Structure 1
Amino acid sequence: MTKSFSDFRYMTFDVVGTLIDFEGGLVDTLAAIAREAGVAFDGEQALNLYRSARYMPDVQHFPDDLVRVYGVIAPKLGLPAGESHGRRLRDAVKDWRPFPDSAAALARLAKRYKLIAMTNAQRWAFEHFARALGNPFYAGFTVDDTGTEKPDPRFFEQVFAFVETDGGSRDQILHVAQSQYHDIGISRRLGLTNCWIQRRHAQPGYGGTIEPENFTEPDFHFTSMAGLADAVESSLAA
């Protein structure tokens, strides 16, 4: 039986794709390169190619890996070759913006819960994201901290250990994310209560995020962070 919002002390968050509009940021930079080169550009095609390139055997840590990714996808998109363009794609990450509702929703939730970031991004990128979000996090875990990426259970186990040192337990965590593959499926298998933020609810497919082998029905489901914050406030006020 799904818990109520009053049962949680912590909310853990995926960052890239849930709070930060990574698809928008990625497409904007690639589109700018295409315009400068006088090349027609399809954003959804770019995201599909990006998804395949990000899961090749020689993948590196994100977002430094975007230099390599650009080299893989540029010929297929008709974009100009050259490592300088790949570095431009990587460096643009620091300017990726939150979804319009992210910062305000996090500020509302932080009044009630301890917010913990869990991102597959490197620490340098997370620091930019956290500032753009208003620095709402009680703690933050990156691939640099954990040495692994979600959906590896070891990433989650390190967060559980931190929560235990803080006097809490995994039963008091609500895990919030948009990725079925990286977060929702594995959080269910690890016994967490989860909340799916379906950012692509108005678009087909999984965009730049790998498709899960099996869909996991979440405990809570919203199409925005604002929807989650509204539901929490309504529930706790009742």
Structure 2
Amino acid sequence: MSEISLADFKVIIFDCYATLADWESGIFTALHPLLARFPSSATWTKNEALLAFTEVEKDLERKEPGLLYCDLLTRAHEVLAEGLRDNDASASANLTAAEHRAFGASIKDWPIFPDTCDALRVLEKHYKLVILSNVDRASFAHTHAKLSQDTDLAPYAVPVPNPNAHWLPQITPNSRSPFSLILTAQDTGAYKPDPRGMLSALEIIQNEFGVGKDQVLVVAQSLYHDIEPSSKLGVSSVWIDRQGATMGLETLSEAPKWSKRFETLGEMAAAVEAER
């Protein structure tokens, strides 16, 4: 783990869910109606439920990288339900397609961490901020409005005729978005930790902003999805070690790959202000 100065970077690539938004609480809340239907899962702790879910999700991301994230969540809910039903022979619970779709649409309800928005306003003064997220555009639009603290924010103010085109929200008139570039799995065609997403982001950042990877900093909670693959590409990173987190920590026992660690994004923003 090499020491870095936060002032040496010009662009931050953020993971969104788990770093800026509390996806673990959002997922667990949305899973509760399903878990309560089966004796084997009704008593699961939050950690048990999230670990069971994330194994299903990761498997689907590997097998179906072209599936939109809202549809992937829908399918993950179905697969988890099928497994619970198989384990509980006495259970007669049958879930409807609408219930599965409701879970897939739950992203709009996932909460933002309380320190996130203020921290983004600090960081946008010093860096161009980029989102690289395992999500689809329509689902992220809800989170984007929350992160921008702008309920009137248009999901895509500029038409995107090319389904693989990226979104530059800074060209939207009067936008309060803190982000200069938003890339979803729908844009890159790959789910992290597949390196294609990060390579796509680095290429666009070089072309759009003239910034090479030596001045790009990845900021994320997930070691598995973000810190580990970024390290392999030679991109510096900051680990936001959200306390109590369960998902994304598969490589925690290995040698650290991050350059700095903070428990909250607010803590990092304060460090940036102190350095400058």
TM-score (norm 2): 0.76
Alpha-carbon distance in 1 for matches of 2:271, 2:183: 26
- Tell me by how many angstroms 1:202 deviates: 3.5
Does the 8 Å contact 1:63/1:90 carry over to 2?
A: yes
Structure 1 residue 72 and structure 2 residue 79: aligned? Answer: yes
Once the two structures are superposed, the pairs formed by residues 11-50 of structure 1 within 5 Å of their partners are 11-32=12-33, 40-42=42-44, 43-50=46-53
Alignment correspondent of 1:147:
189
Does the 8 Å contact 2:240/2:262 carry over to 1?
A: yes
Does the 8 Å contact 1:180/1:215 carry over to 2?
A: no
Alignment correspondent of 2:222:
179
Question: Of 96, 105, 114, which aligns to 1:91?
Answer: 105
Does the 8 Å contact 1:11/1:173 carry over to 2?
A: yes
Larger radius of gyration: 2
- Tell me by how many angstroms 1:33 deviates: 5.2
Does the 8 Å contact 2:188/2:197 carry over to 1?
A: yes
Count residues with an aligned counterpart: 231
Does the 8 Å contact 1:195/1:220 carry over to 2?
A: yes
Alpha-carbon distance in 2 for matches of 1:55, 1:167: 34
What's the Cα RMSD here?
Answer: 2.2
Secondary structure, in 3 states, of the residue corresponding to 1:117? strand
Alignment correspondent of 2:118:
104
- Tell me by how many angstroms 1:82 deviates: 2.3
Alignment correspondent of 2:240:
197
Unaligned runs of 5+ in 1: none
Unaligned runs of 5+ in 2: 149-176
Alpha-carbon distance in 2 for matches of 1:6, 1:73: 45
> Among the aligned pairs, what percent are the same residue?
32
TM-score (norm 1): 0.88
Taking a change above 3 Å as real, the CA distance of residues 202 and 45 of structure 1, as seen in their structure-2 partners, is closer
Whichever residue aligns with residue 267 of structure 2, its letter is G
